[in-house]
């Protein structure tokens, strides 16, 4: 895949995370973690189990 293809795929994953993360009470800048496969999986887990996970500094 060309670098342009990687860029397009990155944008296609970054934008939905940027929009959905505030709905899960997480900062939008966490969307930067969606650009690598090693960090997108834990991020999806945090979003899936957000009501059971307490994050220091974010949850009050």
Q: Is residue 40, in this structure, part of any structural domain at all?
A: yes
To the nearest 10°, report the CA torsion of 17, 20, 21, 24: -150
Residue 19 is predicted with a pLDDT of 92
pTM of the model: 0.72
Residue 51 is predicted with a pLDDT of 74
Count up the domains in the chain and report the number. 1
The more confidently predicted of residues 54 and 32 is 32
**What is the tens place of the pLDDT at every residue in 10-48?**
889 999 999 999 988 888 998 998 888 889 898 888 888
Residue 56 is predicted with a pLDDT of 74
36: domain range?
3-48
Cα 54–32–34 angle (5° rounding)? 80
User: Is a pLDDT exceeding 80 seen at residue 50?
Assistant: no
| 21 contacts 31 by C-beta, under 8 angstroms | yes
């Amino acid at each position: 895949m060309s670098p342009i293809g990687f860029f397009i795929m990155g944008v296609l994953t970054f934008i939905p995370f940027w929009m959905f993360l505030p709905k899960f009470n997480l900062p939008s800048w966490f969307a930067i973690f969606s650009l690598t496969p090693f960090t997108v999986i834990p991020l999806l887990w945090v979003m899936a189990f957000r009501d059971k996970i307490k994050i220091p500094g974010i949850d009050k």
